[in-house]
Amino acid sequence: MSANTSTPAITAGDILAQKGKTPIVSLTAYTTPMAQMMDAHCDFVLVGDSVGMVLHGLPSTLGVTMEMMILHGAAVARGLSRAMLVIDMPFGSYEEGPQQAFGNAARLMRETGCAAVKLEGGVEMAETIRFLVERGIPVMAHVGLTPQSINTLGGYKVQGRDAAGAAVLEGAHAVADAGAFAVVLEKVPQKLADEITAAVPIPTIGIGASAGCDGQVLVVDDMLGLFTAFKPKFVKRYGNLGVEAEAAIADYAAEVRARSFPAPEHVFADQPAPDQTASKG
Ligand code: KIV
């Protein structure tokens, strides 16, 4: 797999510098055409391990592999020239320790051209984050609901309500102290998200958190209405493309069965018409 050789304009330093200024805009992407549509509008594009559920039909993100992240990461890299590319480290690719994390993060960067990696966890991941950052790998952290830990968290519940909020805050401080350039806050109460945003020196990127976060990220298939298996409360649908796509497929199927597609304009004559001799059609 060859990496995208061009370097997108926006860097981890630029994202960090946006804290408290302009809100940071991000979406997930998994393909080149989607990345091309986002490049002018997003500050960073995330190849999330949500790809496993959204595009591959997996029941959770736990089955996502390095190979899947590299395949989709390289595709997204080919669609970006401006927005920064961040790629999720999949479950099992970094938790053993800093050395394992470095090997896999370096592979993601080498084989896709991404500018940073994202990994899930707070205090327990601080040492690994520091190790990566000190060796040239910008890291985005992810605390609150960390979907790779659903089996220990007991499902996709809001994290940090009441007394449990202190642990989420502690995790955000730990990843910031370790050198992460930003931290995703997923599914935490609004008040806690605002408290963390005020307390840490790095941008907070909310998903199911607060409009007061330094930025927002959504899964693109959720916000376009392409992924319809379920809709978390924090998702706003800005489009209904799933319904439109199914209607288009149904129209096509009906026209094929009625032999009304292809129509005369979609088929070729034995001889090109005189005015079409120069065309390749
Ligand atoms: O995998 C993903 O898409 C993510 C975002 C939801 C933040 O981690």
* Angle subtended by helix axes 126-134 and 165-178, to nearest 10: 20
Question: Which value, in Å, is the radius of gyration of the alpha carbons in the chain?
Answer: 22
**C-alpha–C-alpha distance, residues 78 and 261, integer Å:** 34
184 Cβ closer than 6 Å to some ligand 1 atom: yes
Is 48 near ligand 1, meaning CB less than 6 Å away? yes
Based on the residue annotation, tell me whether 186 is a catalytic residue of this protein.
yes
Closest by Cα among 180, 159, 181 to 169: 159
pTM strictly above 0.85: yes
- Expressed in angstroms and rounded, the spacing between residue 218 Cα and the centre of ligand 1 is 7
User: Which uninterrupted H or E stretch holds 190?
Assistant: helix 190-199
From the alpha carbon of 184, which atom of ligand 1 is closest? 7
* pLDDT score at 1: 47
The amino acid present at 50, given as its one-letter code, is S
Which of the four pLDDT bands, split at 50, 70 and 90, describes residue 277? Answer: low
Query: What is the 210 CA–ligand 1 centroid distance (Å)?
Result: 16
What pLDDT is recorded for position 272?
Answer: 84
Cα separation values, 188 from 41, 167, 239, Å: 26, 12, 25
The pLDDT of residue 276: 57
* Catalytic residue, candidates 186, 195, 246, 255: 186
Return d(Cα 45, Cα 25) in angstroms, integer.
9
- In the chain, the percentage of residues whose pLDDT exceeds 70 is 95
Tokens (6 digits) for 145: 């609901």
CA–CA distance, 137 with 129 (Å, rounded to integer): 9
Tell me how long the chain is: 281
Mean pLDDT (whole number) for 23-52: 98
For residue 49, which atom of ligand 1 is closest to its CA? Answer: 1
CA distance linking residue 143 with residue 165, whole number of Å = 11
What is the token pair recorded at 33? 């055409």
